Amino acid sequence: MIELRSVTKEYELGKTKVEALRGVSLKIERGEFVALVGPSGSGKTTLLNIAGLLDRASSGTVLIDGSEIGDLSRNALAGLRGGKIGFIFQGFNLVPVFSVYENIEVSLVLAKAEGNRKEWKERITRAIDEVALGGFARNKPAELSGGQRQRVAIARALVKRPEIILADEPTANLDSKTAFSIIELMRELNEEERTTFVFSTHDDRVLKYARRVVRIEDGELRE
């Protein structure tokens, strides 16, 4: 469903160039549960951003369901980003002044989701229940624990019912118990709804849960 072919990414830092990805080829099929592991600075976030269409490759090809994204219009790309792909960012990116409910609602607004007020409410409430945060809908992120915030971030991706969720370090900064519960939740969604997951981690504790492990070092894959 997502395929990268010989993707490179260079960042310019003043006069120096950083080669964050050096020819990465990777194919993710529907229903997979993939861990992307590698040391800090190896290119995990860069790879996820490019696979999630948040950033562009310097060279190489990105295909979604067999179509090259270079051939798609701006609108088509925005539609893919909004509907098909959910993203969980490194460090949550929740809006501090919004409640849990509103943070999840933003996702439907940005995705230009269909449905009336009542249908939106049902979808948001269901997502909140799925991440076991019923009762916290009106709370602000600052009133939640790290694990609860991470679950809001998952609900926000989930509410769109995307086919694939790309998660950047979803268990970073969580204690072991909470980290396992986050990974278990992702596994459940993977098994019950066939949501495809690709998550980056340098957390060895969660690796045994992955069905496939892709290793990245210095911008190159070693599967």
By CB under 6 A, name the binding residues for ligand ATP. 11, 13, 18, 20, 38, 40-46, 90, 202
CA-to-CA dists, residue 116 to 57, 108, 175, angstroms:
37, 11, 39
- Say how far apart CA 210 and CA 213 lie, in whole Å: 6
N- to C-terminal Cα separation, the chain: 19
Q: CB of residue 50 vs ligand ATP: minimum separation in angstroms?
A: 10
The amino acid at 96:
P
Q: CB of residue 202 vs ligand ATP: minimum separation in angstroms?
A: 6
Total residues in contact with Mg ion, by rule CB under 5 A: 2
The item of Mg ion, ligand ATP, none sharing an interface with residue 73, based on CB under 5 to 8 Å by kind, is none
Which residue among 3, 21, 45, 84 contacts Mg ion (CB under 5 A)? 45
Closest by CA to 43, choosing from 21, 17, 13, is: 21
The item of ligand ATP, Mg ion, none sharing an interface with residue 41, based on CB under 5 to 8 Å by kind, is ligand ATP
The amino acid at 63:
L
- Burial of 117 per CB tally in 10 Å (0-12, 13-18, 19+): exposed
Mark the segment that binds Mg ion (CB under 5 A) among 28-36, 41-49, 129-137, 177-185: 41-49
Of 20 and 111, the one with the shorter C-beta distance to ligand ATP is 20
User: Could you say whether residue 196 binds Mg ion (CB under 5 A)?
Assistant: no
